[in-house]
Amino acid sequence: MSELLKHVEAVWQSVVPTLPGFTVEVLPSIDSTNSELMRRARNGLMEPVLLVAEEQTAGRGRLGKGWHSRRGQSLTFSLALPMAPASWSGLSLAVGVSLANSLHADVRLKWPNDLWLHERKLGGILVETASQGEAPPGARMVVVGIGLNVARPDAEAVAGLGGTPSALPAMAPAGLAEILVGATCGEVLAQVAPALARDLQAFENQGFAAFAQRFAQRDALQGRGVQLSDGTRGTACGVDDDGALQVLTEHGMRHVTSSEVSVRPC
């Protein structure tokens, strides 16, 4: 039995009372857990499912970036469930808040979808949605993909995962083992997955407002000089009510959405 499988029953028991029909699957290897659940969603899947992979061969992040995944040394999973919030704005930020709160007080959130530890990338978030004809009005199947370094990967292993030519260079990696000595992938899954399921339901009912204050407390960019991928420089001033990054530039305040640009401290 793999180490991950030892924790599946506990995760299922914790989640299923509030998420009927919930299932958990563990696969030894797959191209991408997000890609697989998106394929299922397009084929009519509407039941909530947590899909965990011991290894991903074609993991991916936002803006076409790759995600380096090693068996036993990184945790990669996706959680799919139907949702119909009044507004989708700020969903990836709410996911980040949930993960950071479950992991450690030292984990910070780099807008819009990265987890940082001591100024280095610890993990990433990829949120995708798919419509389905049998879903209730306004509902979509949401697939939330998570990649977390449990052990710290070699810098050379992520150097080639920059993605599109316009993307900024890959960040130096961090690993949970630096602060949670001896933690295993299965233990980390049991630590974060049940809370994530609950927080997604909270987001559906309350929106980003329920997470805004906690995001501000972990905002890694607040008050720092930043450079956008289009070359614009300014000072990060938190996020607005919709989760857009506020950047004070020489031309005034700019509200940046995650679909527009990447951001780095400078």
On the question of pLDDT at 168 being above 60, the answer is: no
Per-residue pLDDT, 146: 96
Domains: count for the chain = 2
My answer on whether omega of the bond before 85 falls inside 30° of 0, hence cis, is no
Percent of the chain with pLDDT over 90: 70
Q: Report the CATH number at residue 20.
A: 3.30.930.10
DSSP for 196-263 reads: HHHHHHHHHHH-GGGTHHHHHHHBSSTT-EEEETTS-EEEEEEE-TTSPEEEEETTEEEEE-TTT--E
Same domain, 20 and 102: yes
Per-residue pLDDT, 165: 42
Band (46; pLDDT cuts 50, 70, 90):
confident
Task: Over range 7-12, report the average pLDDT.
Answer: 95
What confidence tens digit (pLDDT) does each residue in 47-86 have? 999 999 999 887 655 545 555 566 668 999 999 999 999 9
Residue 264 designated active-site = yes
Q: Which of 128-142, 208-222, 242-256 has the lowest mean pLDDT?
A: 128-142
Same domain, 169 and 194: yes
Same domain, 172 and 204: yes
Same domain, 173 and 214: yes
Mean pLDDT of the chain: 87
Residue 62 designated active-site = yes
Same domain, 209 and 235: no
Same domain, 206 and 233: no
* Structural domain containing residue 235: 225-265
Same domain, 111 and 233: no
Burial class (CB in 10 A: 0-12, 13-18, 19+), 126: buried
Same domain, 239 and 205: no
Q: Higher model confidence: residue 200 or residue 5?
A: 200
Q: Report the CATH number at residue 256.
A: 2.30.30.100
Same domain, 249 and 130: no
From 200, 218, 236, give the residue that closes a domain: 218
Same domain, 104 and 145: yes
Q: Which entry of 40, 62, 110, 140 is annotated as an active-site residue?
A: 62
Phi, psi of 151 (to 5 degrees): -90, 155
Q: What is the pTM of this model?
A: 0.89
Same domain, 181 and 55: yes
Are the CB atoms for 81 and 141 separated by under 8 Å?
yes
Same domain, 257 and 207: no
Q: Which entry of 60, 65, 110, 121 is annotated as an active-site residue?
A: 121
